[in-house]
Structure 1
Amino acid sequence: MKPLFKSGPSPHVRVILAVGAALALMVADYSEQPPELLRTALSLLTYPLQFAADRPSQLVREIRVRFVNQQRLRDENAELQRENLLLKARLQQFAALEAENARLRELLGSSLDVSDRVLIAEVMAIDLAPYRQQVMINRGSNAGVFIGQPVLDANAVMGQVIRVTPFYSVVLLITDPDHALPVEINRTGFRTIAAGRGPNLDLELLYIPKNADVQVGDLVLTSGMDGRFPPGYPVARVKTVRQDPDNPFTTVIAEPTARLDRSREVLLVWSHNENLRAQALAAEAFKPSEFSK
């Protein structure tokens, strides 16, 4: 079939012209001085096509990188939160250890002032009964603890051992209503008895005449007259001196200098005076009340 109209060169001429143009471009590109202007023009013409062809794959890569980064950030955030919790827990442990070390250093510092042999014990439990002032410590007869043995904290006398088992002991605090301790006023040497008053954690100095020289702030020490406590251990400080017309004696209230409600570590004391220790072992122990945690 022949076309109705003839226009332009024949197909053979077109092929020859295309081949010639291709050869010319190849020769020009291979030559030492390529036509940069022509190449630049052609690249500008082809860039939109190239951009349109690469854009879908580029978008896929960007979306993939974004999701990967978000997941990585979530994982890193979760890991940082876990590390933060662990560090906070360790910080709490370090704070507790620091406080415990301070208490132990305080105990050891006080034991340097005590000429007797001492052993550190830890308070395991307390008696929750309202009128009982007893604690349980984690040292027993296996450690040489004996009934009547004095117990101190870093500041003063706390009490004495009233029950011993191989692995733990029960300590009667000086504030227990059943406890009485021979003491003396450090300033004057006046001797009296300090009796426990129960839950208020105070002591009452008994049988003090109205003409006795007792003042607020006086330091009360063990007198050593009971054969249990060696003399000279701090016990309390006088905080109230009251004259009652109906009472033939002066009412004197003393506040224990030991931290009876806060101490977690205590000192068990062995006196170098063997006579005191023998008397303590031979003396009749206080009748212990039933201990409950």
Structure 2
Amino acid sequence: MLISSYKQNPARIPALGARAFALLLLSLLLMFLDHRDNHLDAVRNAISAAVYPMRIIVAAPVNFWAWASDLSKSKKELQTENSRLRAEILLTAARLQRLTSLEAENNRLRDFLEARRRVQDEVRVVTIMAVDANPFKHNIVLDLGSSQGVYAGQAIINADGIIGVVMEAGPLTSDAILISDPGHALLVEVNRNGLRTLAYGTGEFGRLDLPGLPNNADIRTGDLLVTSGLGGTFPSGYPVAVVDTVTRIPQDAFAEVTATPTAALDQMREVMLIWSAQHDEQATNDE
């Protein structure tokens, strides 16, 4: 077809060559003028402004894909960062709980050390291994036994006061009863005036009853009750409880008196056993 078209119009080729040559000269002239005097800046800016929407339309799919990829990547990175931060928060909280527990234990041991300095008798810190599950029996098991010198009737204290007494000493462990047990009673005296009476356990960790005081007994709310030293079980002068209620009924012979133990009997992990001088002398005499 091209051959036939050339045969029909043989003068077309020279005409195209002349046009191309003219366009080449025009281009060189425009380049020269633009280079020297920047006459085509306005034209170039107009063409650029006209073409800009087309550029936006052409680049839109690519830009959208890049934006979607960045968004997906950012979301994944945020989720990963969020998961990492949550794990760090949980780890920090766990460490903080452990530090809080260690701080509380350190405070308890410091209190024990301070109490030991105040105690004249020989004492030893022991750990509570178990607590009786029966809510009506306030019994505990200690991690020391007769092989370490523990004996039945040995007094138990902590940094705040009297806790209880050893009931049975096995070779490696010991069973003890708390002063709050309903079956326990100890002889106490009012630290203010020396008035003596019995303090009975009630089955509640925070209450002791003093039922044997007459209405005219000199006892007041806030009085400190300490061990009397009589009976041979508890050495004298150790805090036991603080009187919190005194109710006097005229037609009754005895007052209703209750006291709160100085020691938190339901919040203990470590306690102290007392080897009193009185017991050592008795053991020496028995030998």
TM over 0.5: yes
Mapping of residues 243-258 of structure 1, within 5 Å: 253-258=258-263
Shift of 1:216: 4.4
Given that 1:150 and 1:229 are in contact with CA atoms closer than 8 Å, whether structure 2 keeps it comes out as yes
Secondary structure of 2:141's aligned partner: strand
Are residues 1:240 and 2:243 paired? Answer: no
Are residues 1:161 and 2:166 paired? Answer: yes
Q: What amino acid maps onto 2:63 in structure 1? A: Q
- Inter-partner Cα distance in structure 2 for 1:50 and 1:191: 103
Are residues 1:69 and 2:69 paired? Answer: no
- Inter-partner Cα distance in structure 2 for 1:73 and 1:209: 75
Q: What amino acid maps onto 1:111 in structure 2? A: R
- Inter-partner Cα distance in structure 2 for 1:52 and 1:253: 90
Secondary structure of 1:10's aligned partner: helix
Q: What amino acid maps onto 1:120 in structure 2? A: V
Are residues 1:56 and 2:61 paired? Answer: yes
Find the partner of 1:15 among 7, 14, 20: 20
- Inter-partner Cα distance in structure 2 for 1:205 and 1:199: 14
Q: Give the root-mean-square deviation of aligned CA atoms.
A: 3.8
Q: Percent of aligned positions with the same letter in both sequences?
A: 38
Shift of 1:111: 3.0
Are residues 1:108 and 2:108 paired? Answer: no
Shift of 1:22: 3.7
Given that 2:166 and 2:175 are in contact with CA atoms closer than 8 Å, whether structure 1 keeps it comes out as yes
Are residues 1:262 and 2:271 paired? Answer: no
Q: 1:223 to 1:277 in 2, by over 3 A?
A: farther
Are residues 1:171 and 2:176 paired? Answer: yes
Given that 1:187 and 1:219 are in contact with CA atoms closer than 8 Å, whether structure 2 keeps it comes out as yes
Q: 1:203 to 1:54 in 2, by over 3 A?
A: closer
- TM-score for both structures, normalised by structure 2: 0.74
Q: 1:28 to 1:235 in 2, by over 3 A?
A: same
Corresponding residue pairs, total: 276
Given that 2:150 and 2:169 are in contact with CA atoms closer than 8 Å, whether structure 1 keeps it comes out as yes
Q: What amino acid maps onto 1:65 in structure 2? A: D
Mapping of residues 215-226 of structure 1, within 5 Å: 215-226=220-231
Find the partner of 2:280 among 265, 277, 280: 277
- Inter-partner Cα distance in structure 1 for 2:90 and 2:162: 41
Given that 1:151 and 1:266 are in contact with CA atoms closer than 8 Å, whether structure 2 keeps it comes out as yes
- TM-score for both structures, normalised by structure 1: 0.73
Find the partner of 1:194 among 190, 194, 199: 199
List alignment gaps of at least 5 residues for structure 1: 284-293
Given that 2:205 and 2:264 are in contact with CA atoms closer than 8 Å, whether structure 1 keeps it comes out as no
Q: What amino acid maps onto 1:152 in structure 2? A: I
Name 1:125's counterpart in structure 2: 130
Name 1:291's counterpart in structure 2: none
Shift of 1:255: 3.6
Secondary structure of 1:189's aligned partner: coil
- Inter-partner Cα distance in structure 2 for 1:35 and 1:140: 110
List alignment gaps of at least 5 residues for structure 2: none
Name 1:183's counterpart in structure 2: 188
Mapping of residues 73-152 of structure 1, within 5 Å: 73-141=78-146, 144-152=149-157
Shift of 1:207: 5.8
Q: 1:70 to 1:241 in 2, by over 3 A?
A: closer
Higher relative contact order (CA 8 A, sep 6+): 1
Name 2:236's counterpart in structure 1: 231
Given that 1:141 and 1:164 are in contact with CA atoms closer than 8 Å, whether structure 2 keeps it comes out as yes
Secondary structure of 2:119's aligned partner: coil
- Inter-partner Cα distance in structure 2 for 1:282 and 1:162: 22
Given that 1:221 and 1:231 are in contact with CA atoms closer than 8 Å, whether structure 2 keeps it comes out as yes
Q: 1:176 to 1:56 in 2, by over 3 A?
A: closer
